[in-house]
Each structure stands twice: as C-alpha cells, then as structure tokens.
Chain A
Amino acid sequence: MGGQPAMSSGGIDLTNVTITYDRHPAVHHLSGRIEAGSLTAIAGPNGAGKSTLLKAIMGELKPAEGKIIKGFTASDIGYLPQAAEINRRFPISVLDTVMLGAWKRSGAFRAVGRQDMIKAGDALSAVGLEGFERRPVGSLSAGQFQRVLFARLLLQDAPLILLDEPFTAIDARTTRDLIDIVCRWHGEGRTVVAVLHDFDQVRAHFPQTLLIARELIAWGRTEEALSPANLLTARAMAERWDENAAICEPAA
C-alpha cells in the first residue's frame, strides 16, 4: 500500500478507565497512554478484559468511569473484531468485501474510484488471495476469510488499527503473513493495538505490551511487562465475579 506519512498526531490517553458488565468491572481503574505510532499488544488471561478494553477504545462500549481521549476521529480507525457478527453466508464476493474498506472515500452512495479498485486488487495479492476476487465469501476457509478482512483493513488505510484476536484459529503460515502486514503497518507509522493471548507471539513481534487481568498488571516494553513475576500476578486473577462485591469507593 502507498507509504503513508508518519502519523504522529495524537495517541490514546486512558485515565482511570473502568468498564463494567452488570456493574461488575471487566476493566478496573486503568490509566496509561498508547503512544502514536506504537505497536502495542494487549495481553492477559481469559476474561481479563482485553477485548472489552479494545471495544472501549473503539468507542463501542462506554466506560462506567474515567475517560478515553483519542487523537483520532472515528473514521481514522480500522477495527477487526472477533468475527462473530459477520454473516458469512451472505452472497457477497471477496472483491466486494474488500472494497467495503473504501467506505471512508466512497461512503454509502458515491462511486468506488478506479484507484480503490486497483488498491483492492493489490490488497488481495498482499494477503496472498489473488484470483479469489469473484469467489463468494461463504466458500472460504476461516483462515482465508481472516485474510480477506485484513485486505479490507489494508484498503481502509487507517492511521489507528485495532485488532481483536486476529490470529485465532489460523495456521502458522497465514499467521506469519498477517504478522508481516502488521509489522509493515507499524513501519508506516500507524498506531496498531492488538489483543492477543499467545505470549510467544507477543514477545516475538510486539515492542509494547499492556498486561491486564481486569486491573492493569504492567504496561511498557514487552520483555519487562511479560516478566515471570507479572505473569504470575496476572494468572492469579479470579475469573468469576464476586456476587456480593461491595461498591468500589473512589480512591482517596
């Protein structure tokens, strides 16, 4: 994709963020800053609030307390959710799916420009799916479909990219290809935040890590954040709610 100039404007500031389901905190009093242009992994055990935090950054969930201030507008964000909400049986072609990524420029009614058509083709070859243009998405495997969604993200050309468990159920080779794309985004100066549960992947490819187990455990350079002591703390998190939890008083 075309080399985007370094997008240094605005990171993401999280101030005392608490996000709740049914009043129980899924993310509890979390503060910190995602630097612009950084490549950050959100890691932690199951139920640690990783996806919840990502959704809050995305703007889909509202924090019960605290603030998330983004140096990005909504149209600057490319978001790859865990593929639950997509209707895979819908009769749409691979190319049309990728071209949805041009939405910021084409919108609901304008024509999709020739440039975006070419970019869509390039994006498909970048994820190794040349020749799949006319295939219906229903005929793709899970890994191929994930690559289509990556191609759509490529076309979106967003300065902030949020990925929720992007490599789940995907074979090693495809994962490597997709990680290459993520690294390239980082090289182009985009801010990338990915929710991951595979610590080895995080260590290998992500310079920054936010380790969370409902509370923030550690946030900083990956090797420090994922120290054995921190991982032990994260693992000790009780996964179930305390049904009789008291109201959390503001810290004095």
Chain B
Amino acid sequence: MSIRTDNLTWKIGRKTILDDVSFEAKPGQMLGLLGPNGSGKTSLLRLLAGLKKPHSGSVTLEGWDIKSIGRRAMAQRVAFVEQHAATNSNLKVIDVVKLGRFPHRSMFSGWSKADDDAVSEALDRAGMSEKRDDRWQSLSGGEKQRAHIARALAQSPKELILDEPTNHLDIQHQISLMRLVSSLPVTSIIALHDLNHAAMFCDRLIVMQRGKIVASGAPEEILTQDLLRDVFSVDARVETSPHHARPHIHYLR
C-alpha cells in the first residue's frame, strides 16, 4: 500500500468537486487518472499532495493520515508536478532542479555530495543535463516541463504525482516522458488526456466523471466502447494493438 484515499469529499463553496472518492495506488505502479475536463482530476491530485484539506474522508500514506505528516516530511517522499507552474524569475535550470533538494536540507545545512548526485541524476533522467545552465525564460514549453520533472525527481520521491505533464510537449517528448515515468522505481499517479498513451503505459487506470470514480482497473478491463461513449461522449472502437498488446482506441468520424 502506498497512497490510499477513503471516501474523500472536497467542495469549493457549495459545489462538490470530489464526491466519495476511494482508491489505492499500489507500490511501484503507474496509475493513470482519466476523465473529461472538470471531472476533478486536478483537485484529487492536489488533495493527494496535501495541498488542500478534504472536507471529509482521508488520504493515507503507508497507512498514516497525511494530516499527521509534516509538510517537510511529506515533501521528502511525495513530489508534485503542477499543470501550470510559471515564474517571472529568470533562474537557471540547475537552480530550479536544486529546489527539489529543499525538503532534504535543514535551514543552515550546506550543499552535500548526495544533493549534488540527486540533482545530476534527475537532470540526466529528464534529458536536461545539457540545458543545466540555461536561463528559465529562454526555455521552450517542453523544456520547462522537463525541468519541472527533473526538480520533482531531485526530491528523491517514493510517490510522484503529475498533472497532465505531457501538455505542450511534442510527440517525441510525450512518449519519452511516459516511458521515463513508467520506468521509474516509484509509485506514480498521473492525470492524462491522451487515452491511448494511458492505455500503453499505465499499469492501472481510474476514470472520473463529475467528481466520482466511475471505473477503475487494468486498461484492457475498463477502456471499453461503452465507457468512451458514456464518459467521454465519443464514438470509438477499442482493439488490442498487434504492436504492444495493449488496448488501442480508434476514434470514429
């Protein structure tokens, strides 16, 4: 058991955004979070990262309610990549990635060899080593996204939460990012819009609609014609791909 939620409910004013959400992410697995716009994916991820408090229900990490875990201790094992994380500051890529070491350093401790190794490895994995000294404002959207992922990896997390990380990336970087996340030895929870990418890379999927979980399970179990029609309002045929043996969705005109 890694991250688990029980009967999670969250509201903005009187509007219920998340309604009785319960699920469990198994250690080391890549869990895809699907659903149309406004179905509550981002809100759920923010609750999982401890950035918002649920109105009722709980999020637990290894059986501990995250309410009882301090901010710093939480950041030492859970890393979060936001959907829109912009800045007007002109930091170097390396300085942004170094921010990932923040939870591991006390206020006065110096920069250690372990910190340096974690940052170098994170830059490597995200394919940003060559850009380490580039200024933030000179990066493309995709490079910024990969720098954010490097920052998250520098936190040495056991759980990685990503909110639509493939937005703004070209197809090469979309695929390489999905490959990267699925190869990491961490539990990852990733909100996605591309159903075929989700089917190809995720171990398990959760489908949300209007704040509720409407389906969960292995991609081949839940990605059906009926679900695509009912939840996403599209006509499609689902076949098993002869290339990667995962479900492949053909959208119909």
Instruction: Report if A and B associate in a common complex.
Output: no
